[in-house]
Structure formats: C-alpha cells, structure tokens
Chains A and B, each alone.
Chain A
Amino acid sequence: MSEPTEDRPAVDEFGEPDRPAAAGTVTNLVTAAVVLALGAAALAGALSLGVGEPASPGAGTWPMLIGGALIALGVVLALRARRTTDAERFNRSGLLVLIAVASMVGYVAVIGSIGFEIPTALLAFVWLRFLGRERLLTSIIGGLAMVAAFYLLFIGALNVSIPHLF
C-alpha cells in the first residue's frame, strides 16, 4: 500500500510539467515564525483568560493547550526550514492573485452603499479581461451577462435580500 504523496510526481510528470519552484529557506522560516507567533498569542490570551485547575478547567485551559502545541509545531517547522521542499516560491504570477483579492476587497467595500449590480459587473470584467486574458468585447459582454444572470437568480428566483439598486 502506498502513501498518497508517492503518486503526486507521477501525475506531475505528464499532467503539470511546469510545477512552480520550491520556496526558499526564508519563506519557510517566516512560515514557522507566523505559527510560533500565533501559538504565543494563543498562550498569552489563554493566560489572561485564566487557565484554571485540572479539576476545574477555566476558559483558558483549552486555548493554552492549543497554544503550546502550535509553539512546538512552529519550532519543528523552523528546524526543518532548510529541508522543506513542499512550499511553492512566490513569483510574478502572484500579482494575479493580488489583483483578484483587490477586486474582491473593492467589491465588499462598496456593495453596502451602491448595491451589487455595478460591483458585480466590474469584478466580472476585471477577472475576465485581466486575469483570464479574454478579449475586450467578450469581457464586457460577459460582465453584463453575469450581472443579468445573477439578478434573475438571486433577486428574481431566490428573492435574496442582497443590497441592490433596482
């Protein structure tokens, strides 16, 4: 019986030849540091909540245990940082993700005040044109079509109370 991980390269071999390069030691150390910091924060929070006694556990008992475990795991991650190969390197295509996240943040920021129609059209356009590299006309028509479809589905059919203009 084999581990699931063993078969990954076999598929990559013919499925995904361009697997991103592995991340460097710095990325791995930062990851470990974030886990450590999270564990430490949980531990500090737990102590301020009061950890109680084994016979009468307090609100902080359980978070304290988790915080301790995360700190231990963070240390192991840090010790293995040099040998870790399963993290992907961040490269320029990460910019696409930044654009995507920015478009969604913009969406949330305005949906409460101007309704969902305009942000939906804009988000669909950005994703089609800049992230999907569709043609300009396809992107415009696609964005408008999606707004129409969402309007019919969520407002017309499902009668959802999402903020809307019309």
Chain B
Amino acid sequence: MGDLSPVLDGFSVVVEPTNLLYCLIGVVIGMLIGVLPGLGPAATIAILLPLTFGLEPVTSIIMLAGIFYGAQYGGTITSVLLRLPGEASSVVTVFDGHALARQGKAGTALGIAAIGSFVGGTLSILALTLVAPFIAGFALDFGPPEYTALALLGILLVSTISSGSKVKALTAAGIGLLLATVGRDGFTGAERFTFDNLSLADGLDFVPIAMGLFGLGEILHSLEERHRAEKAPAPVANVWPSREDLRKSSGAIGRGSALGFVLGVLPGGGAVLSSLAAYALEKRRSRNPERFGRGAIEGVAAPESANNAAATSSFIPLLSLGIPANATMAVIFGALLIQGVTPGPQLVTEQPELFWGVVNSMYIGNVLLLIMSIPLVGLFVRILRVRAAILAPITVLITLVGAYTVNNSVFDIVLVIVFGVLGYLMKKLGFDPGPLVLAFVLGSLLESSLRRSLLLFDGDPTGFVTRPISGTLLALFLAVALLPALQAWRKRRRKERERVEEAV
C-alpha cells in the first residue's frame, strides 16, 4: 500500500455534507427495503438509478452502496419478528432468530444481529482497504485475453452458484450476452439485431433492462402471491444484549466475518451463500449442535456478521477488476458507467477520491445503521404495517416515470414494461434474472476482449492457454464448469453400484 494519503483524502470526501446526507438516505432506504419483504436491493437500486443522474458520481455510488449494505441490516428484523426473511441473505437467521423471539428475546437477537453486522461490515471494509489496491495493481497488466477469461469465469460462477437450475441460469446469461450485441458493432460499424429501429441503433440501455427485470418483474410476480395472512410482529423488549450473550457470540461474529469476507470476494458468492456457510460452520463447531434452531444466539450472530462482511467485500472485484460479483454489483456497475466512470484496475489510481470516498463512506454508513438498528428499531417495526397493496402502485409509478426521465423517451418506458414481463415470466419459469443482467453488463467487454485477443493471436485460440494468467483463469473456468457434471456422474455410478450390490 505504502502511501496512506489517498485513503485519508477519501475521508474528506465522505464528510462533505452532501455525501453524508446521501449516505444517510441510502442506508435508510436500505433498511426500509430490507424490512419490507418483496423488493430486494438489486431491484431498489435499479428503480432508483434515474434519481442518481443529477448527482456527482461519488455521491450517487455512496448512496447506492448504502442501500445494498443497509438492506442486510434490515432483512434481519422481519426474519426475527415475523419469520419472514426480508432478504434472501437473512433466510438462515429465521431459524434461531425467531426461536429467540418466541422465548421473548427478540430484542437480544436483534441487538446481537446489529452488532454482528456492524463488526462484520467494518472488518470487511478494513480488509477491502488493504486488498483492493493490491488486486488492482496486479490487474493493471491484464490484456484482452485475461479479461476474456475473467469475464467468462465471472458469468459462469454467478450462473452456477445462483439458486435454482444451472442450465436455466446459463440460458439467462446467454440471453443477456445476446441482448448486449444489439446495436452498432464497435469494430465494423454493422447494425446488429436493430430491425431498422432507430431507438435500437445505439444498443439497449442498461437502466430499463435492470428496472424491468428486477423492479417490475418482482412486483408483477408478487401480485400473484399477495394473499398471505398478515402476522403480528413479536414484541421487542430490551435490545441491548447482555454481557453473557456478547461473550457467547463474539467467536461466531469473528468467524462469520472472516468467512463472509472470503466468500463475498468470489463471483456469485455474495451475501446469501456466506450466511448459509457461516450458519453451517457454527453448527458443526458447536459442542451441542441440537441447540441450533431452538434459539442459539450464535445462529443469529454468525450469518448476520457473514452477510454484511460479504456485502462489503463483494465490492472488491467491481472496484479493482471491473467485474461485478453479483446481480446488485452489476446494477452498481451500470450506475458507474452511466456516470462516465469505467470501473477497473485504473480506478484506484485515476479516481482516488471516488474509490476511497465510496470505501470510507461505508464506515459512516455502518455506524448510522448501528444507531438505527438498536435505538430506532421500534420505528422500523412499525413500517411493517404498511400494506403491500399500497406500496405496489407507488413502486410501479416511480419505475415508469423514472424510466422516462433517463433519456426523456417514451420508448424507455416501453422497454421497462417489456423487460418487466420478461422478468415475471423468468421468475415464473424458474430462471434467475440475475445472470442475465450480469451477462448483459459484461457482454460488450467480453466480446471486444475476445475479438481483440483473436486479432492479437492471429486467430489461434491456443494463445489463451499459453498466457499464464488467462490460462490459469480458463483452467478455473473449466474446473467450475465440469466439476458439477463430474460429481453427478460419480453419484450416479455409486448409486448404480449400490443397486447392483443390493441385487446380489
């Protein structure tokens, strides 16, 4: 690292009143959508993208980042009180969190979760500060072949780790790549898949796609399953955890933070996977694992620390390599592009105030969230009483009007509706829209890197394998692609052998 002054300069960016204000707005919105089941952080960030156009790049990313990690705090509240995870990453918190709530210890669970989230988030920012510039420095030597391999690996990892069918996730990614080719070809100037439509000549815009697939798609899908009985939240008493609870969960918080940080860096890892892994780890380590599911405080502390650490560390691949690690990062990637900032290894040296401003704003954001989730938790519990029937039209109207304001074009509203219907159908048919958006974002980078590499190698594809870094990345790519197939094959063979033995 060496020079600390850009890191410190980043703090002077953060304490500018505008940036502080938008950091606060971001984390409050994040808390809110975390509390409200339904819209996830990716959808919310997508819907709010148009509002960020008038802002400075650093201000807008500070706000969007706040929404992302704020949602990790908020998602816990509904998990504990209602047994309804507000976010996918709080699913495992349901088991022990709600058990604690039924024993009248909802406050303890929420308090420990907030402290764990704070510790996990803060440790992860510290680690990010050390690791991200190092990775970026390493990646400065990357050429087109390395970027081809990296983008391929990223898309593949996100597709294979995402929930649901892998074939469907890959199909979604393929459609995303195809959508990215629409418009004028940057190399030859040929019009591709524009059907002589002038609005398509410059390619599809990222904003309506993200708003439609994530925002509108989720709203349409939730229309069908709205008729869920309303539950009364469990009462929240003392939120300050006892010294005994803190002592019991400190180890879990530490392990959860470390695990979350590592898994968050991996493409596709992110908050959901790391919370599950942290819970599994605590259960395995425990001397009496039967306590888990019946109100073990570690079962709340570990996943909540892990999902926040992962949410923070998933910024590393985006800010240091320009490769988004998950769907929400893909939307933030899009937001940066719209602001005229290309995320990549040069970001930390060329735009230090943006890089360190965003990173350091997370400290402030986490402090704000800690304040909101311990003393102000009652306020957010009350928001649970707002009916989904009233929120839905508001969200839809913000989406439609917001889409218009991006380019002042009605065509963009049409696109949002088209992609909203597509997003609904995808959810209905078991396709995760995340890989599509991610592949769309990476599509043009992947294509141009591939074509530049081919020109570089004079058409000889073995060039990818002989360069050390791209070769390693491609080997990883193959391992990720083939491992599940190999495992399935071995499983089948073992089953067959057992059947044969049974027959004998």
Chain A residues at the B interface, C-beta cutoff of 8 Å: 1-2, 4-5, 7-8, 10-11, 14-16, 18, 20, 23, 27, 31, 35, 38-39, 42, 45, 49-50, 53-63, 66-67, 69-70, 73-74, 76-77, 80, 84, 86-88, 90, 93-94, 96-97, 100-101, 104-105, 107-108, 111-112, 116, 120, 123-124, 127-128, 131-134, 142, 146, 150, 154, 158, 160-162
Contact = CB atoms under 8 A, between A and B. Distances in A.
Contacts of B400: 104, 107-108
Interface residues of B, number: 76
B178 A70 contact: yes
A21 to B, nearest CB: 12
Interface stretch (B311-319, B350-358, B378-386, B403-411): B403-411
A8 B85 CA distance: 11
Contacts of A161: 405, 408
A57 B417 contact: no
Given A107-B400, A131-B223, A54 B417 contact: no
B459 interface: yes
Nearest to B177: A66
Interface string B211-243: 000000001110111101000000000000000
B417 A108 contact: yes
A contact patch SS: helix
B198 interface: no
B163 interface: yes
A100 B399 CA distance: 14
B264 to A, nearest CB: 14
Given A38-B175, A62-B181, A62-B447, A18 B401 contact: no
7 contacts: A4-B88, A23-B429, A42-B193, A69-B170, A93-B223, A127-B389, A131-B392
A15 B85 contact: yes
Nearest to A6: B276
Nearest to B429: A87
B297 interface: no
A63 B181 contact: yes
Interface stretch (B16-24, B106-114, B134-142, B182-190): B182-190
Contacts of A84: 165, 430
Contacts of B389: 127-128, 131-134
Interface stretch (B7-15, B125-133, B248-256, B448-456): B448-456
A29 B387 CA distance: 38
A61 B451 contact: yes
